[in-house]
Amino acid sequence: MHAPSSVDAELAEVARIHGGAGPWAVAGYRMGKHALGKLGLQRHSFDLEIVHKSPRSVQFSCIADGASAATGASLGKLNLTLAEASEADVETVYRNKSTGQAVRLRPAASFRARYRDLPREKLMSTGREVMELPDAEIFEELPAEAPPSR
């Protein structure tokens, strides 16, 4: 027997958190990994705060579980928050609480078109496909919002 590939291990982590590794959850995983790198944070960092904005609708909400799988953030630790937004406004904001630096990502238009409303039997194969796509085919980075004044 051989050791699982890193793609297999990452897909298993997404499935462990989400229950499957479909394209939208995998997109959230990829976005989370990208954001950690940009913010200079490690997985499970207490400095990370994530707000995922989406409709209360499967596929868009799956991104939040992928973000959790990549970053270790969770609803229970209060560092992953879900905020209701329209389909046009789906985005995830990752913030380093210590520095205030933020990364704001949303699914790319081409990703939305390609993976929208897939039949259930295609979710696992397309999840693997998304794990291997270039970042630009999955998400785009938006200008970070100014932090809220307190």
When pLDDT is cut at 50, 70 and 90, the band that residue 47 belongs to is very high
SS3 25: helix
The CA–CA distances, whole Å, from 71 to 76, 83, 121, 131 equal: 14, 18, 27, 16
What does CATH list as the number for 6-142? 3.30.1330.130
* CA max distance for the chain: 56
Is residue 140 within 8 A of residue 99, CB to CB? The reply is no
Banded model confidence at residue 4, pLDDT cuts 50, 70, 90: low
Q: To the nearest whole number, what is the mean pLDDT of the chain?
A: 92
Domain ranges of the chain: 6-142
pLDDT value, residue 87: 94
> Mean per-residue pLDDT for 7-19?
95
pLDDT for position 124:
84
> Comparing C-alpha atoms, which of 69, 13, 14, 80 is closest to residue 46?
80
62-111 pLDDT per residue, tens: 999 999 999 999 999 999 999 999 999 999 999 999 999 999 999 999 99
Confidence of residue 150 (pLDDT cuts 50, 70, 90): very low
